[in-house]
Amino acid sequence: MPDTSSKPDLIPSRDAPPPKRSAFSWSSKRARGMVYQAMVLGLIAFMVWLLVTNTLGNMKARGIQSGFDFLMQPAGFDIGEEWIGFESIQPYWRAFLAGTVNTLRVAVVGVVLTTILGTLLGIGRFSRNALVRGMCYGYVECFRNIPVLLQLLMWYLLFTEYLPQVDAALHVGTWLYVSKNGISFPSLIWQMGHTLAVAGAVLGGAVAFAYAGHARKTFEKTGRPKPVLGVSLALVFAGVLLGWLAGGAPMAWNMPKLTETQVEGGGALSPEYLAVLIGLVLYTSAFVAEVVRGGIASVSLGQHEASASLGLPQGLSMRLVVLPQALRVIIPPMTNQFLNLTKNSSLAVAVGYPDVVSIANTSLNQTGRAVECIVIIMAIYLTTSLLTSAFMNWFNVRAAIKER
């Protein structure tokens, strides 16, 4: 046999280290991409700097004040309804905070009600009852084809023109009053027991969430569904009850009282708030219903037939088989509808509801800081939209079907 021990290895060893590459190489696609991105960011930063500098220079040349120092000055105006308490001697920043809270009152409650109503309408489009299908179809075609501003004005007109005067308010005993001033109802006098009840509700919700996950895994393994909704509600209610009892079971209520000119005390929902909330919910739920209908229609007919062959009733089949698969189609466009509802709440200024846009308009007229007020509005809506998108993206990841 020939001696090959002195011949060099033609095949490099597997353990040989990879060839060294320079830290930066223009031939690298990744390196070029980083350079291009840095150039674009630099160009954007320069354009923003140029725009801000020219704007401030022109405003200074015309004697127009600029800056956000006005936020620390007394506002000098009152807000019709606020949840955090506001007086005219307080600064502008607190007025913007009160307006933001009013905007969130509409957006958060509206998103919850829109989801419930739109989902029911979307499922109703597949009902075996022709009357239910027709009513759902008529609702969608009616409300989504009327501009949302007209709907807000319509509801505001109904509340302010056709409801009775305060002295002839519709009432249920001394608990509920309905008049042109809105809806008045008893409100809790907040005590420690109520704080503990809220903490118990959060704890019960966490336990219910864990139980729902356990029930889902059990169903995937055994095919036997466990009751989830009833048990979850019972856990939350139990947490509330235990927290309330631990805090001394407070029962004090602030009751509304009818006078000649107004209803005093208790809680109240103004006609402006009701008009904005109902108008946005009815309008947006029509689009959500179509999103849900499209998601359900995307699930193949074989899934319906398979669940029926297992003996599942239609309602259980929709909840356990169809909707979980439809969520991957429903969630992305549903996010858009939630964002639209939040941004459409800016139309509340048309019916006099003191949201953040209304507060900004008043502040602009008093201070002349137009650019600053617009920037604040943009920042608030951008923040709420990004938070909504982040939550829905997280939920979309959790709801996605896991491939094996």
Q: Is residue 361 a contact partner of residue 374, using CB atoms and an 8 Å limit? A: no
- pLDDT, tens digit (0-9, with 9 covering 90-100), for 19-50: 555 556 777 778 888 888 899 999 999 998 88
Which residues, in sequence order, are bridge partners of residue 187? Answer: 254
Q: Is residue 307 a contact partner of residue 219, using CB atoms and an 8 Å limit? A: no
pTM recorded for the entire structure: 0.77
Helix (H) or strand (E) segment spanning residue 257: strand 257-258
Q: Is residue 51 a contact partner of residue 339, using CB atoms and an 8 Å limit? A: no
- pLDDT, tens digit (0-9, with 9 covering 90-100), for 122-154: 989 888 889 999 999 999 999 999 999 999 999
CA distance 276 to 347: 8
What pLDDT is stored for residue 24 in this prediction?
64
According to CATH, the superfamily of the domain at 92-165+279-399 is: MetI-like (1.10.3720.10)
CA distance 27 to 207: 55
Residue ranges of domains in the chain: 92-165+279-399
Going by their DSSP bridges, the two strands 176-179 and 182-185 should be labelled as antiparallel
| Residue 206, helix vs strand vs coil | helix
What pLDDT is stored for residue 76 in this prediction?
84
Q: Structure tokens of 215?
A: 């029930």
What pLDDT is stored for residue 1 in this prediction?
47
- pLDDT, tens digit (0-9, with 9 covering 90-100), for 338-352: 999 999 999 998 998
Q: Which burial class, exposed, middle or buried, applies to 59 when counting CB atoms under 10 A from its CB (0-12, 13-18, 19+)?
A: middle
Q: Is residue 301 a contact partner of residue 106, using CB atoms and an 8 Å limit? A: no
Residue 138 CB neighbour total at 10 angstroms: 10
- pLDDT, tens digit (0-9, with 9 covering 90-100), for 300-321: 777 777 877 777 777 777 777 7
